[in-house]
Every structure is written in C-alpha cells, then in structure tokens.
Amino acid sequence: MSLLLEISGLSQRFGGLQALTDFSFQLEEHELVGLIGPNGAGKTTVFNIVSGFYKPTEGNIIFDGRPINGLRPHQITALGIARTFQNIRLWHNMTVLDNLRLARSAKLGYSFWGAVLRTRRYWKEERAIEDRAREVLEMMNLTDCAEKLPKNLPYGLQRRVELARALTTDPRLLLLDEPAAGLNSADADDLIRFIRWIHDKFKLSIWLIEHQMKVVMSLCQHLTVIDFGCVIASGTPEEVRNHPGVIKAYLGDETL
Ligand SMILES: Nc1ncnc2c1ncn2[C@@H]1O[C@H](COP(=O)(O)OP(=O)(O)OP(=O)(O)O)[C@@H](O)[C@H]1O
Ligand SMILES: [Mg+2]
C-alpha cells in the first residue's frame, strides 16, 4: 500500500472562531476510514479544505505526492478527489444523466470553444462522456432515473445520484460527508452494503464523516475523532469506542 493523502498541521480560523487546530492525518491507497466527532467539531471544515472549498489558515495537504494547497475545487477533482455533501447538492433542474455528464466534462476540462463551435472533436468527447455517465448509472442501478429530475426522486435515490455523480469523475479518493444523514435504519443498511461494494468495484479510497455509528463501526478500518477542532483520538473502531476522551465528548449522545 502507498500513501495517497497526507495532511499536516491544518488549521482553520473563521474570524474569532478557531474551527480546526493542527489537524494531521494520513490515508493509504484503498483504505476505507472515518472522521467522527460531535456537531460543530470541524469535520466538514476538513473536507471543505481538502476539496478546495476553503483555503486553510495553516497547514499542508499532499495528494499522491503533490501539494494541493490553494488549488481550486475543479483542479482538485481533476487530480482525483471527489466528494458528496452533507446537504445534497445536485443540479435539480437538470436530468440525472446531465448531472453526471456535467460533472465529468468539468473534470476533464473540455474546451469552451469546442463547445461553442461544436467541432467534430467536441462531439466525440461528448459521446464518450455520455457513455461513461450511462455506464456509472447502470452500475449504480440508476438507469431508470437517467431522464428524471433529481428533485422528483425519493431522498434515498437522490443520495445515490450524488454518489454516482462523484464516481463519474473517476476519483481515487472519495470524500463522503454524512452519506447516511436522513436515512432510516433499513436504508442505512443498504448504504453500508453499497459503500462496501463501491470500495471494491471502483478500487478507490474512501474517507467518510458519519453520525450513524452503525455505519461507521461496520465500514471503517480506522477512525479519527475530533472535538472542538482538535484530534482527541484515533484508532480502530473498537479502540475509539472505548476511549475515555471520546466517551466524554459524546456523553449524552445516544448514537455512540
Ligand atoms: N464558512 C464558515 N464561516 C464561519 N464559520 C464556519 C464556516 N464553516 C464552518 N464554520 C464553523 O466552524 C465550526 C465547525 O463546523 P463544521 O461544519 O466543520 O462542523 P461539523 O463537525 O461538520 O458539524 P456537523 O456534525 O454539525 O456537520 C462550527 O462552529 C461552524 O459554525
Ligand atoms: Mg458537517
């Protein structure tokens, strides 16, 4: 196994609020690991920094041997990091297929002028993009939704479309921000099987944030726990579950 992501000394301040302090983390190729912590601990902030949505106050991020600090979200996607959001962010007035097509075109960075002038190369690229988008939809059992608008789909399917859109960019690292949020217990069980399947089928690394402990404990090989922006524990799910600092941070929270 080789190191895919290496984060060191990451800090993020928002005005007077220290949201993240000296966060360091390493992820190997093909690992499936989790980031947990109470509400407001700074978990999404970590993902927002790694995916280029926030510029950290301090710290370094190396992905596949190259520094990615300060790159914009589309550049980071192009390097092989894709994400989903805590609150689903699909383009709701575009079909499911177009959501996937647009994500892949943005990743490949196809030329504006090609699109305007409709060159032969443009049509060839468009066909290849559509073929890949349809292939991912089929793998994700979403073919019947291709021509539908995401806003008209049940919530669980919208979550799956968001995952499909991320996978259309052929990521090497997938960041999932609370994929089970809003799912009932049976749907969460389906999601666990689904994430495991994606992990094997697409041969990628997955880093997930999740409050539903059933999901975290059954999927993750390793967990990092943060509270008030600081790492308070890391280890196997079993080690973390019995860690006094973690128990204290979650005291009164019945999800643990
Ligand atoms: N863009 C921003 N501007 C100002 N404050 C922010 C911003 N983004 C996050 N914060 C603050 O940083 C802290 C950490 O937020 P973050 O969203 O990372 O927490 P979280 O661990 O993901 O919480 P949750 O489990 O509720 O999703 C919170 O106090 C939040 O209000
Ligand atoms: Mg969050």
Q: Please tell me the predicted confidence (pLDDT) of residue 107.
A: 72
Report CA Rg, the chain.
19
CA 130/CA 60 separation, integer angstroms? 36
CA 94/CA 108 separation, integer angstroms? 20
Q: Please indicate whether residue 40, judged by its CB atom, sits closer than 6 Å to ligand 1.
A: yes
Tens-digit pLDDT profile for residues 179-213: 999 888 888 998 999 999 999 998 999 999 999 98
Map residue 103 onto helix, strand or coil: helix
Atom of ligand 1 minimally distant from the CA of 178: 27
Tens-digit pLDDT profile for residues 114-152: 666 677 777 788 888 999 999 999 999 999 999 999 999
CA 19/CA 44 separation, integer angstroms? 10
Tens-digit pLDDT profile for residues 14-24: 999 999 999 99
Probe residue for ligand 1, chosen from 10, 21, 43, 177 as the CB with the greatest number of ligand atoms within 8 Å? 43
Tens-digit pLDDT profile for residues 151-184: 999 998 999 999 999 999 999 999 999 999 988 8
Is residue 255's pLDDT more than 70?
no
From the list 145, 26, 162, the residue with the least C-alpha distance to 95 is 145
Q: Please tell me the predicted confidence (pLDDT) of residue 120.
A: 76
> Ligand nearest 43 Cα, by number?
1
Q: Please tell me the predicted confidence (pLDDT) of residue 121.
A: 76
Distance (Å) of CA 76 to CA 1, 46, 82, 103: 22, 14, 8, 13
Distance (Å) of CA 25 to CA 5, 34, 69, 223: 8, 11, 15, 11
- Provide the mean pLDDT of the chain: 91
Per CATH, the number for 1-80+171-256 is 3.40.50.300
Q: Specify the DSSP element, H or E, that contains 244.
A: helix 244-249
> Ligand nearest 48 Cα, by number?
1
Atom of ligand 1 minimally distant from the CA of 229: 14
Q: Please indicate whether residue 17, judged by its CB atom, sits closer than 6 Å to ligand 1.
A: yes
Is residue 56's pLDDT more than 90?
yes
Report field, pTM of the whole predicted structure over 0.85: yes
Task: Tell me the average pLDDT across 44-53.
Answer: 97
- Residues spanned by CATH 3.40.50.300 within the chain? 1-80+171-256
Q: Please tell me the predicted confidence (pLDDT) of residue 208.
A: 97
CA 225/CA 131 separation, integer angstroms? 40
Q: Please tell me the predicted confidence (pLDDT) of residue 172.
A: 97
CA 237/CA 68 separation, integer angstroms? 29
Residue with tokens 């399917």: 157
